[in-house]
Amino acid sequence: MKLLAFLSLFLLSCSTLERVFVEEDLLKRPPAKRCSECHQKIYREWLKSRHHLAYTSKDFIRTTENYSKLKCLSCHAPHQVEPGKRPALRKVFLKDGVNCAGCHYRGEDLKGFMYGPYKVFSPPHPSKRDKNFTSSLYCSSCHQRTYKEWKEAKVSKSCQSCHMPYLGKDDLIQKFPFDLFHLAKERHSHSFPSLKAKEEDLKITLEGNRLKIVNVGIPHNLPTADHGSPKYYLIVEGKGFIIKRLFTPKLRVLKYKEPLYLEVPSTEELKVSLYRRLSWSKRRELVLSKVLRASPSSVSYQR
């Protein structure tokens, strides 16, 4: 009964309450941990993401010489993200990396808004909707090169649709009593998975003396990076020979829908293996392994 009274009071006078319920520190770019008081699930996802480690990752510290290359820091600890513009360096909580406030809050401290994909009623922090949150342009502020490749691919699928996979409808917050006032909304994973190419993303065929590889599924280069160094390794084995090719964003890539040819000695059977290594990982993971026979129609699979 008490709760109901409280509830109706809440609903009747939204505009005044909006001011009463503001928690000022939320408008001063607090660390992600603070947002977790209400957005528990999203926070837990983010902890698993690389964005969370963007400033403290070992490789980042090493390649920036312990943070002395100042021009490197801004995208790894952004002040605010304005879609399409490179961010400036945040002044506080740098170790938080690419954090919630860095991505969602814009404007002067206290005077700004929390921006997001929805129109919401969020008394603790006034919010505004920005449609760019669902478009690739949003990611382009930092993933500049990958964005350029994606644009050239001319596909409609956004970065988010693959790298922030849809989680179904759920509450945005897990804090009493606020959670009672809000309807479940569509949720997108904040663990920003790096993903891995699937067998069907890569078409591999043998045409005479040429091995042909086409990236048919991923609308950016394989591998792709702005400053990281992800790699792909191609190993082609046949009777009496072995060919190795390294793929890095600068040396050689599999562009979307652009075939890559490799001359091979004539042979009856070829084993083609592809491995990859993400920037931040020491591990080489198998992407696929196939045995091809001279006639392209009789391709057999072996994983």
Q: Which is nearer to other proteins, 167 or 243 (CB)?
A: 243
**Residue 244 binds which entry of other proteins, ligand HEC, none, CB below 5-8 Å type-dependent:** other proteins
- Three-state SS string over the chain comes to CHHHHHHHHHHHCHHHHHHHCCCHHHHHCCCHHHHCCCCHHHHHHHHCCCHHHCCCCHHHHHHCCCCCCHHHCHHHCECCCCCCCCCCECCCCHHHCCCHHHHHEECCCCCCEEEECCCCCCCCCCEEECHHHHCHHHHHCCCHHHHHHHHHHCCCCCHHHHHCCEEEEECCCCCCCHHHHCCCEEEECCCCCCCCCCHHHEEEEEECCEEEEEECCCCCCECCCCCCCCEEEEEEEECCEEEEEEEECCCECECECCCEEEECCCCCEEEEEEEEECCCCCCCEEEEEEEEECCHHHCEECC
**Residue 250 binds which entry of other proteins, ligand HEC, none, CB below 5-8 Å type-dependent:** other proteins
**Residue 273 binds which entry of ligand HEC, other proteins, none, CB below 5-8 Å type-dependent:** none
Q: How far is the CB of 237 from other proteins (least distance, A)?
A: 14
Q: How far is the CB of 236 from ligand HEC (least distance, A)?
A: 18
Give the Cα-Cα-Cα angle 254, 256, 260 (nearest 5 degrees). Answer: 40
Determine how many CB atoms are found less than 10 A away from the CB of residue 207.
Answer: 10
Q: How far is the CB of 29 from ligand HEC (least distance, A)?
A: 7
Residue selected from 50, 231, 255, 293 as contacting other proteins according to rule CB under 8 A: 231
**Residue 210 binds which entry of other proteins, ligand HEC, none, CB below 5-8 Å type-dependent:** none
Stretch that binds other proteins, among 10-18, 23-31, 133-141, 228-236 (CB under 8 A): 228-236
Residue selected from 40, 205, 229, 279 as contacting other proteins according to rule CB under 8 A: 229
Q: Which is nearer to ligand HEC, 146 or 211 (CB)?
A: 146
Q: Which is nearer to other proteins, 108 or 263 (CB)?
A: 263
Residue selected from 2, 19, 154, 244 as contacting other proteins according to rule CB under 8 A: 244
- The yes or no reply on residue 65 touching other proteins (CB under 8 A) is yes
Provide the pairing of β-strand 113-116 with 127-129. Answer: parallel
Q: Which is nearer to other proteins, 66 or 295 (CB)?
A: 66
Q: How far is the CB of 15 from ligand HEC (least distance, A)?
A: 16
Q: Which is nearer to ligand HEC, 124 or 238 (CB)?
A: 124
Residues of this chain that bind other proteins (CB under 8 A): 62-63, 65-71, 226-227, 229, 231, 233, 244-246, 248, 250-251
